[in-house]
Amino acid sequence: MTRRNLDRLAGLFFQVLGLCVFWGAWNMPVFEERGASIYEAPGLTPAILGLALAFCGFVLTIRKTKDGEKTDLWGEVLATPGHRRRALWAVLITVGYGVLAFANLPFKISTALFVFGFIMIFDERHDDTPINWPKRALLSAAIAIVVAFGVSYLFTDLFLVQLP
């Protein structure tokens, strides 16, 4: 997808978001029954910001850029399918830990599993030799255990933070 098309999509998104913010602000109470002035209305500032965001989104959608048709916007990090696959895996595994495992499993177990899985998936080879999976698993497990117990000790025993 070209830079210009992605910019158009993003502009459209910000227009919708800005209008939603404006609509939400418009429907907020004014508290006139308490003798409040219109200028005290809770929705005043968000309404202005929503309109400003929608306007900027509109400009982003309609404007022309000098190299917009030629440049691939995803060039920096998500250039190839391989990179995109890594990004997807990274999102899945981190969200899985941060949103699901962190809340529902004991901290040491969830952290050890996350660190182990992350290193197993993403650790890189520095030459063309085949991956030595048992060695990688051993190293990942060692790091996972040290991190799980180390972070738990740091926060619960030293900083007195109750972890999930």
Partner 1 sequence: MFEAFSAALATTFSLEHLFITLWATLLGIVIGMLPGLTATMGLALLTTLTFKMEPSGAILALLCMYVGSIYGGSRSAIILNMPGTPASAATTLDGFPLARANRAREALALATIGSLFGTILGAILLALFAPVLADYALNFGAYEFFWLAVFGVLISGQLTAADDPLKGWIAGLLGLCLAMVGQEQVFAYPRFSFGITDLTGGINLIPAMVGAFGFAEILANISARNTPKLAEDSGRALPRLKDIVRHLPTVGRSGIIGTFIGVIPGVGEDIGAWSSYALAKRFSKNPEKYGKGSEEGLIAAETGNSAAVPGAIIPVLTLAIPGSAPSAVLLAAMIIHGVRPGPLIMIQNPTFVYEVLLALTMAAIFMTVYGLLLTRPLLMVLKVPRARLMPIIFVLCSVGSFAISGRLFDVWIMVAMGIAGFFLRQLRFPMAPLVLGLVLGQLLDKNLRRGLILSDGSLEPFLTRPISAVLVSLIVVCIIWTIFSAVKRARNPE
What is the closest distance, in whole angstroms, from the C-beta atom of residue 8 to partner 1 in the complex? Answer: 11
The answer to the question of residue 92 lying near partner 1 (CB under 8 A) is no
Instruction: Provide the mask over 52-81, with x wherever binding to partner 1 is found by CB under 8 A and - wherever it is not.
Output: xx--xx-xx--xx-xx-----xx-xxx---
Which residues have C-beta within 8 Å of that of residue 1, sequence separation ≥ 6? 72, 73, 74
**Among the listed residues 137, 148, 160, 157, the one whose alpha carbon sits nearest the alpha carbon of residue 106:** 148
Buried b / exposed e over 126-149, threshold 16 CB at 10 Å, is: eeeeeeeeeeeeeebeebbeebbe
Among 23, 26, 72, 95, binds partner 1 (CB under 8 A): 95
The answer to the question of residue 97 lying near partner 1 (CB under 8 A) is yes
Question: Furthest-apart CA pair in the chain: how many Å?
Answer: 77
The answer to the question of residue 133 lying near partner 1 (CB under 8 A) is no
The answer to the question of residue 131 lying near partner 1 (CB under 8 A) is no
- Give the C-alpha distances (Å, rounded to integers) separating 138 from 7, 110, 132, 135: 45, 18, 10, 5
- How far is residue 142's CA from residue 115's CA, in Å, rounded to a whole number? 10
Among 33, 124, 128, 157, binds partner 1 (CB under 8 A): 124
- How far is residue 74's CA from residue 87's CA, in Å, rounded to a whole number? 12
What is the closest distance, in whole angstroms, from the C-beta atom of residue 148 to partner 1 in the complex? Answer: 8
Give me the residue label for tokens 């999102």.
91
The answer to the question of residue 15 lying near partner 1 (CB under 8 A) is no
The answer to the question of residue 36 lying near partner 1 (CB under 8 A) is yes
The answer to the question of residue 50 lying near partner 1 (CB under 8 A) is yes
What is the closest distance, in whole angstroms, from the C-beta atom of residue 107 to partner 1 in the complex? Answer: 8
What is the closest distance, in whole angstroms, from the C-beta atom of residue 104 to partner 1 in the complex? Answer: 10
